[in-house]
């Protein structure tokens, strides 16, 4: 997957270089984009009690290739800075409280080797992630009405995880097996998040051609995710070998679990095309 991402980014770079060379307002136009919005997570497990609306910040570049006067293909390379949070349903109806084992700034997986610094009960999790996103969309646009035209885009946002960190609220288990409230901040979470996040959506906007071939573009769109934010299995071996969260059963054996949710994004974007 990482090789595929590198090849795709390289292809996008070539595409943008041609867009800048040929950007006469006829066939190819390239530019910069900036956006912000909200992200929503739809839980796919009873482990999650509540999800708050998270924040997204988007920056990158895009290009439109005109197929005709009213149809274009939009692609680009954007970086999504995403934040979201979960509150867990730590009730015995759902198997009891959730725990993680940690060492320094890293959560330990089921198949870990080496020393542990302790066990922590997780009540709430806040996640920060950075994605490289390659949109692939079809743009339907009106003819110019003076200096303005309107458009709609439909297609995919293909996002590839670059980095993720988590903050956890809950309680430490001390040597007397008592709980002491506290936090685990800025923790690495190996193999917790899915490398690929896919979403399909629609955006509506307007394009103002204010100088030569230069245009200011504003749009708002919603994108519904069709892949899980978290890893929910493995290609080979036991599905739970990459999981970090677990519950204790009546025999005090560990039952590893994972969060599961589908993402959604509401984005407002401003772009400048040259």
Spatial separation of the C-alpha atoms in residues 115 and 128, rounded to whole Å: 26
Looking at 88-97, 143-152, 157-166, 210-219, which range is the least confident one?
88-97
What pLDDT, on a 0 to 100 scale, did the predictor assign at position 119?
Answer: 94
Q: Is the pLDDT of residue 5 over 50?
A: no
Q: Tell me, what's the pLDDT at 239?
A: 65
pTM: 0.86
* pLDDT (tens digit per residue) in 66-86: 999 999 999 999 999 999 999
**Residue 115: exposed, middle, or buried by beta-carbon count in 10 A (0-12, 13-18, 19+)?**
exposed
**Average pLDDT value for the chain:** 88
At residue 207, the pLDDT reads: 97
Q: How far is CA 131 from CA 75, 117, 195, in A?
A: 16, 30, 9
Ranges of beta strands (E only) in 142-260 are 148-173, 179-187, 196-211, 214-225, 245-248, 254-257
pLDDT score for 238: 58
Q: Is there a contact between 74 and 28 (Cβ–Cβ < 8 Å)? A: no
Angle at 249 between CA 246 and CA 255, to 5 degrees: 30
DSSP symbol at 258: -
In the predicted model, is pLDDT for residue 212 greater than 90?
Answer: no
Domain containing 139 equals 2-273
pLDDT value of position 234: 57
Instruction: Answer yes or no: is pLDDT of 236 > 70.
Output: no
pLDDT in tens, 86-130: 999 988 878 899 999 999 999 999 878 878 999 999 999 999 999
How many separate domains does the chain show? Answer: 1
């Amino acid at each position: 997957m990482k090789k595929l991402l590198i090849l795709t980014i390289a292809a996008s770079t070539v595409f943008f270089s041609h867009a800048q060379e040929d950007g006469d307002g006829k066939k190819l136009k390239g530019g910069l984009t900036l956006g912000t919005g909200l992200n929503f997570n739809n839980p796919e497990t009873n482990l999650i009690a509540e999800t708050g609306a998270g924040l997204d910040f988007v920056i990158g570049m895009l290009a439109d290739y005109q197929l005709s006067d009213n149809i274009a293909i939009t692609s680009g390379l954007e970086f999504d800075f995403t934040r979201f949070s979960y509150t867990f349903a730590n009730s015995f109806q759902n198997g009891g409280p959730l725990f993680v084992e940690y060492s320094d700034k890293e959560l330990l997986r089921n198949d870990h080797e080496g020393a542990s610094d302790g066990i922590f009960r997780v009540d709430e999790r806040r996640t920060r992630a950075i994605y490289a996103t390659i949109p692939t969309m079809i743009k339907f646009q009106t003819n110019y009405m003076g200096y303005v035209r309107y458009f709609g885009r439909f297609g995919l946002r293909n996002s590839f995880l670059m980095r993720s960190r988590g903050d956890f609220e809950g309680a430490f288990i001390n040597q007397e097996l008592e709980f002491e409230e506290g936090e685990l901040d800025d923790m690495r979470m190996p193999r917790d998040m899915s490398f690929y996040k896919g979403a399909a959506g629609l955006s509506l906007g307007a394009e103002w051609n204010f100088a030569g071939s230069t245009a200011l573009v504003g749009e708002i769109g919603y994108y519904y995710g069709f892949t899980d934010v978290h890893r929910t299995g493995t290609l080979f071996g036991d599905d739970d070998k990459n999981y970090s969260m677990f519950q204790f059963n009546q025999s005090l054996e560990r039952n590893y679990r994972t969060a599961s949710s589908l993402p959604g994004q509401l984005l407002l974007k401003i772009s400048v095309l040259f």
